[in-house]
Structure 1
Amino acid sequence: MIKEEILRKYARLAVCMGVAVQPGQLLVLTSSVECAYFTRLCVEEAYKAGAGEVLVLWNDEAVTKLAFQNESTETLSRIAPWKIEQKKNCIDQKCCFLYVESATPGLLAEIDGKKLQTVRMAKETAFEPFEYYTVANYGQWSIVAIPTVPWAKKVFPELSDEKALEALWNAVLTSVRVSQDNDPVTEWQRHNEELQHHCDLMNGFRFQSLHFKNGLGTDLTVGLIKDHIWAGGCDKAKNGAVFNPNMPTEEVFTMPDKYRVDGRVYATKPLSYQGKLIENFYLDFQDGKVVSFHAEKEEDTLKNLVGFDEGSSYLGEVALIPHDSPISRLGILFLNTLFDENASCHLALGASYPDNLKNGTELKREELDRLGSNYSKIHCDFMFGSADMEITGTTWDGKQVGVFHSGNFVL
């Protein structure tokens, strides 16, 4: 079992460096019941940091699965008005959101994809009016993950329950830079500076497109929106608080031009979506849109993702992560996008982040659309990086610059 001293370090990191709760602020903490022991530590650390109030919203994936197995699609799609009012009330108080997740990969594999799709759409539609708060960083938000035996056994099926859980904990703590003898806050401050260095380099070139190519067959050109901004690591909310949205994170990312993506991209890791694992898949893009695709496993789930809404067949993010990054070096397939996306370059189908565009957070949706930003009710990352990835950037005056060679930055 992980020592409480280490767990408390992790909790303090999540509260103070992740969501960066401010004095007197309301913290809304969403957690699985499986993570209750860690969530309580987060609550303690939040009050120590000066939180004015902590609201904990519990969920239970086992109960969720039972609901999908036994309730009708209509019942599951019904969003209680009080839940919407609760969200509005929290945002009206200028809260911050911390999500403690521990999803079991493939938990809903047996559930009909159409049912999952319909319920997801109902929830996204109901809470759409509040998306701006986190998407445009009006308030702080962060996600951390806690290992559980079911998740650990998916990652390390050859180990006993106890050994698998220990192995996953070690991998997670390494990924978030928490150890027995370090100060993780200091580690993260240094890490954020390194990520900012890469952002500054990429922003200095003002590339109009990036060309990705590897031995698996990826041959993709991603046009970048004019006046795009590369970001990574920490971010700043409208209240001035500096927070880290994802822990771990190794990426620098920006906004593609919705209509200037062409070619084929092969995924290099499975994608967990709707509780199912999509494996060995590729996507073909033409003028920005996915025009064809194939997956060896869960192709119907991939179809649901691409066809979720109008924007889900276009890209909203392109992210660069060196193959020689700490999470990649672990050599572990976490089967969890929060971790796997930080071991590999990735793309996201769906919504763009407005702060990846100059003055983007000040623009209305119609203005963003005209500039080539993508809008969708979802944002789903998939991994396509590899050890032999070559990336060439083209500037607006036609100059070509090597960005990646053999999977790593050469800038």
Structure 2
Amino acid sequence: MPKEILIDKLANLSVQVGANVQKDQVVVVNASTETRDIARKVVEKAYQAGAKEVIVNWRDEYTGKMAVEYQSIESLENIPEYAISRYKYFVDNGACVISIVSPIPGLNKDLDPKKQQAQAIASSKALNFYREHMMGNRSQWTIIAASNPIWAKKVFPNLDEDQAVEALWDAIFKASRVSEDNDPVEEWLKHNSSLIKHNQILNDYQFKSLYFKNALGTDLKVDLVNNHVWSGGQEEGTNGVVFNPNIPTEENFTMPLKTGVNGKVVATKPLDYQGNLIEDFWLEFKDGKVVNYDAKEGKENLKNLIEFDEGSSYLGEVALISHNSPISQSNILFFNTLFDENASCHLALGRAYPMNIQGGTEMSKEELAKHGYNNSMAHVDFMFGSEDMDIVGESKDGKKVQIFKDGNFVI
């Protein structure tokens, strides 16, 4: 089957299952110049689904790099009113968002981290209202991926460029459950059903704490908030529309108690942060906060992440993924969180999702904070799962339950 037909299927999946575009809804498509062809398909599918208006937010990684390279910090910190008004329009009109990622790993390696940090903080502050809207699931949102030559060569360095691009497309399709002989929409209905069953098992336990341990040096205790909710797969927005935020996804995740994380975690995959790769790193937590860390590559970028704001040195998410998940079993390192987080248990530094606590989407930030919610302008996942990961859950009455053994679910 020609690749164009599979791209058509993936685009349709993003509209029908990912964002679940509603009739007469405004749709925003975040796309880069690397994703032009599939972006056009997504726009077409969105209109065919009944969208009232489809707005494409184009960006270019290379001109974005030039902006940081040549502008002053003062200029980078100036977020013009027209840019803010654009996002207010999205929020005010209940727009759903489809983002197409196609990273250029390591592109920003030589940029001044201080300038990158200044730009990111200024943008996050100016658009915090939009981030809160989307992370609070007040509109549907989803993320899919597209291949490009530089990313493909990073993932498949031993292949010629054209072969690498095709191999990465193939890996994206497989991970996204898109194939020649299936209906991806039907496939995702089955997949969501499986993830929901695991969520229910974990929710019924209502563990007080999770203990993580492996031979690489991870020895970590993560307390969970009371009345936490395990999520994964499809979610329901506060507008009543069911959607799938990530394509692909294999995770079951919930909210850690902000001040209840203690011990050491060792990352098992590189992290692409602001176009820079952070490799071979570890973090040590005390009473929820990162108190020590190191990295063989990208330590300054890791420092920027941890110091992004007060909340970025605390956790906002803990996610469980079996080592035998399809993406893990592919043995492909994607150098991209959308995929690599679904091959491995992961944690997120920064903001928690309000939906991960009962009634959280109706709570104010102050109410959420009383329950142990972590607020931040950042939310960055990093991977720490392994084939020998051991996870034990402790109930409120002190009972210990084996959740993972040898990297996989046993409950």
Same fold (TM over 0.5): yes
Question: How far 1:77 moved relative to its partner?
Answer: 2.0
Query: Paired residue for 1:376?
Result: 376
Write the letter of the residue equivalent to 1:164.
A
Verify: 1:226 aligned to 2:226, yes or no.
Answer: yes
Verify: 1:188 aligned to 2:204, yes or no.
Answer: no
294-303 or 342-351, which deviates more: 294-303
Q: Which runs of 5+ in 1 are unaligned?
A: none
Spell out the pairing of 1:379-390 with structure 2 (5 A cutoff).
379-390=379-390
Query: Paired residue for 2:51?
Result: 51
Q: SS at 1:172's partner residue? A: helix
Verify: 1:338 aligned to 2:323, yes or no.
Answer: no
Could you tell me whether the CA contact under 8 Å between 2:76 and 2:118 is conserved in 1?
no
Write the letter of the residue equivalent to 2:188.
W
Distance 2:277 2:131 in 1: 26
Distance 1:44 1:180 in 2: 21
* TM-score, normalisation: structure 2: 0.99
Aligned residues: 411
User: Kindly tell me: are residues 152 and 2 of structure 1, through their superposed partners in 2, closer, same or farther at Cα, counting changes over 3 Å?
Assistant: farther
Spell out the pairing of 1:1-400 with structure 2 (5 A cutoff).
3-400=3-400
Distance 1:162 1:340 in 2: 23
Q: Which runs of 5+ in 2 are unaligned?
A: none
**Aligned-pair identity (%):** 51
Question: How far 1:130 moved relative to its partner?
Answer: 2.1
Instruction: List per-residue Cα deviations over 1:38-96 (Å, max 9, x = no partner).
Output: 11111111111111110111111111112222222222221110111111112111110
Write the letter of the residue equivalent to 1:395.
S
Distance 2:383 2:99 in 1: 22
Question: How far 1:402 moved relative to its partner?
Answer: 0.2
Distance 2:274 2:307 in 1: 13
Instruction: List per-residue Cα deviations over 1:365-405 (Å, max 9, x = no partner).
Output: 11111111100000000000000000000000000000000
Question: How far 1:163 moved relative to its partner?
Answer: 0.8
Distance 1:65 1:156 in 2: 24
Question: How far 1:305 moved relative to its partner?
Answer: 0.7
Write the letter of the residue equivalent to 1:350.
G
Distance 1:31 1:332 in 2: 24
Distance 1:193 1:49 in 2: 24
Instruction: List per-residue Cα deviations over 1:268-304 (Å, max 9, x = no partner).
Output: 0001112111111110001111100011111111111
Question: How far 1:2 moved relative to its partner?
Answer: 5.2
Distance 1:119 1:86 in 2: 18
Q: SS at 2:338's partner residue? A: helix
Distance 1:273 1:395 in 2: 35
* TM-score, normalisation: structure 1: 0.99
Distance 2:126 2:192 in 1: 35
318-327 or 150-159, which deviates more: 150-159
Distance 2:217 2:406 in 1: 15
Distance 2:344 2:107 in 1: 24
Write the letter of the residue equivalent to 1:152.
A
Distance 2:148 2:131 in 1: 29
Distance 1:198 1:65 in 2: 42
Question: How far 1:131 moved relative to its partner?
Answer: 2.1
Write the letter of the residue equivalent to 1:87.
Y
